[in-house]
Structure 1
Amino acid sequence: MYSDADAAALYDFLNPWDPDRRADDGFYFPLVMGAESVLDVGCGTGAMLQLARERGHRGRLVGLDPDLAALGRARRRADVEWVEGVAADVENGADFELAIMNGHAFQFLVTDDDVRTSLSAIHGALRSGGRFVFETRHPQARAWAGWDASNPDDVVDLVDESGRALRVWHEVDSVTGDVVTFHGTTAAPDGTVLRIDRASLRFLGVAELNMFLAEAGFEIEAQHGDWNREPVTASSHEIITIARRR
């Protein structure tokens, strides 16, 4: 078996937070360091806020996530607030200057109600003029088309932090409208399956996304199609949004 704690450790191993080497992390990190209070929605194992504190952030840092195993790793650093919950649980009136939802976490908001309640809660947690920054994969790029065991770019062979040799890959189960359901497999090198994790992601287009944001009381400060802050175009793979609370 491959436990939830093992899976959280594997996530850290596969997705090291490194703003000096990764363009996406490098986009978010200066925003975090420049804000006096930050809410990380879907913080996972907390690597972003941990590094912010390590590099001298002196303000309020709060990480929110429903995954207890991930929070268990995050809580190894006690000078950040770690809260169990989802976006809709965010404290109203918390007066954050910045809220972030990175790692494509926004796409786990699958239904209209999920999106509306989450955006409303995040809006309520920000001070007037506060910013919500997040990214979602642009549906036109069809990222899910590469999630397949036959795609060598999607198959990862590694040795995890406990010394186990593993193979990890993804496969799509269904595409229904703008929702893609898939599963990820963690296996031994001989193919013995250790764990299967299933999830659904929503791929909202720009118009639909901006409609939800406006409805929640946000105005669009900027939207980019890549981490170099280029505009969203017909070939963009991302929709990176900086929204401001009105």
Structure 2
Amino acid sequence: MFSDAEAAALYDLLNPWDPDRRPGDRFYFPLIMGAESVLDVGCGTGAMLHVARDRGHRGRLVGLDPDRAALDRARRRSDVEWIEGTAAEARSGAGFDLAVMTGHAFQNLVTDEELRASLAAIHAALRPGGRFAFETRHPQARAWEGWTAANPEDISEVVTETGRALRYWHEVESVIGDVVTFHGTVADPDGTVLRVLSESLRFLDVAALGGFLAEAGFEIEAQHGSWDAAPIDGSSREIITIARRG
């Protein structure tokens, strides 16, 4: 067996939040530290808000996520507010200066209905002029083509907090329109499968993304194609967006 709690701990091993070493985290860090109040939508295990508090953020920090096991891990700290819920359930009128969705969490909003409801709720949770920062993989880069055990770079081998060695890799199941469905396999080093975790992600292009943001009342303040703030071009792998509540 491989429990939900173990899956949450594995996520932290595979995705450590470190603004000193990881370009994406470095991009978000000054935005978070410069905002008096921050809503982390899809906060997962809360690693980003943990680091922000450790490094001196004294304002309001709130993490929102529907995954109870991940939130149980996040709640090891009590100086951050943790809320169980989806993006569409963000509280209206909360007056946040900044909302963020990191780790490509935005791509988990798969249907038009989810996108519209989530963007409307995030918009309503911000103060007038508040900002929403997030990233989504640019579909032109076709990142999913590397999500396979045949790609050595996609196989991760880690040792858990309890000293257990694990292997993790992906396999794509389908690509239908702009939605990619895949699964991640957690296994012992000998290949014995412990758990299969399924997920679907939506790959919006720049025009489609802009349409959803405008419909929700957001104005795009900046968009970048990479973490060094380069403009979006034909080689970009990311669509990194800072949008402002109009």
TM-score range (shorter-chain normalised) is over 0.9
Percentage identity across aligned positions?
A: 74
- Secondary structure (helix, strand or coil) at the match of 2:152 reads coil
- Secondary structure (helix, strand or coil) at the match of 2:154 reads coil
- Cα separation, 2, equivalents of 1:191 and 1:60: 44
- Cα separation, 2, equivalents of 1:170 and 1:161: 22
- Cα separation, 1, equivalents of 2:13 and 2:174: 28
Residue 131 (1) aligns with residue 131 (2): yes
Q: Offset of 1:72 from its aligned partner?
A: 0.6
Q: Which residue of 2 aligns with 1:64?
A: 64
Q: Offset of 1:161 from its aligned partner?
A: 1.5
How do residues 132-151 of structure 1 correspond to structure 2 at under 5 angstroms? 132-151=132-151
Q: Which residue of 2 aligns with 1:116?
A: 116
Q: Which residue of 1 aligns with 2:201?
A: 201
Q: Which residue of 1 aligns with 2:5?
A: 5
Residue 97 (1) aligns with residue 94 (2): no
Amino acid at match of 1:222: A
Partner deviation per Cα, 1:16-38 (whole Å, 9 max, x = no partner): 11001110000001100000000
Q: Offset of 1:162 from its aligned partner?
A: 1.1
- Cα separation, 1, equivalents of 2:169 and 2:160: 15
- Secondary structure (helix, strand or coil) at the match of 1:121 reads helix
Amino acid at match of 1:129: G
- Secondary structure (helix, strand or coil) at the match of 1:10 reads helix
Q: Which residue of 1 aligns with 2:81?
A: 81
Q: Give the count of matched residue pairs.
A: 246
Amino acid at match of 1:38: V
Q: CA RMSD in A?
A: 0.5
Q: Offset of 1:176 from its aligned partner?
A: 0.2
Q: Offset of 1:164 from its aligned partner?
A: 0.9
- Cα separation, 2, equivalents of 1:118 and 1:173: 26
Q: Which residue of 1 aligns with 2:243?
A: 243
Q: Offset of 1:44 from its aligned partner?
A: 0.4
Q: Which residue of 1 aligns with 2:217?
A: 217
Amino acid at match of 2:198: R
Q: Offset of 1:163 from its aligned partner?
A: 0.8
Q: Offset of 1:5 from its aligned partner?
A: 0.3
Maintained 8 Å contact 2:13/2:158: no
- Secondary structure (helix, strand or coil) at the match of 1:153 reads helix
Calculate the TM-score normalised by the size of structure 2: 0.99
- Cα separation, 2, equivalents of 1:123 and 1:83: 18
Q: Which residue of 1 aligns with 2:33?
A: 33
Q: Which residue of 2 aligns with 1:106?
A: 106
Amino acid at match of 1:2: F
Calculate the TM-score normalised by the size of structure 1: 0.99
Q: Offset of 1:190 from its aligned partner?
A: 1.1
How do residues 176-191 of structure 1 correspond to structure 2 at under 5 angstroms? 176-191=176-191
Amino acid at match of 1:214: A
Instruction: Please list every run of at least 4 consecutive aligned residues from structure 1 whose deviation after the TM superposition is greater than 3 angstroms.
Output: none
Q: Offset of 1:193 from its aligned partner?
A: 0.4
Amino acid at match of 1:153: E
Q: Which runs of 5+ in 2 are unaligned?
A: none
Partner deviation per Cα, 1:116-146 (whole Å, 9 max, x = no partner): 0000000000000000000000000000000
- Cα separation, 2, equivalents of 1:155 and 1:123: 38
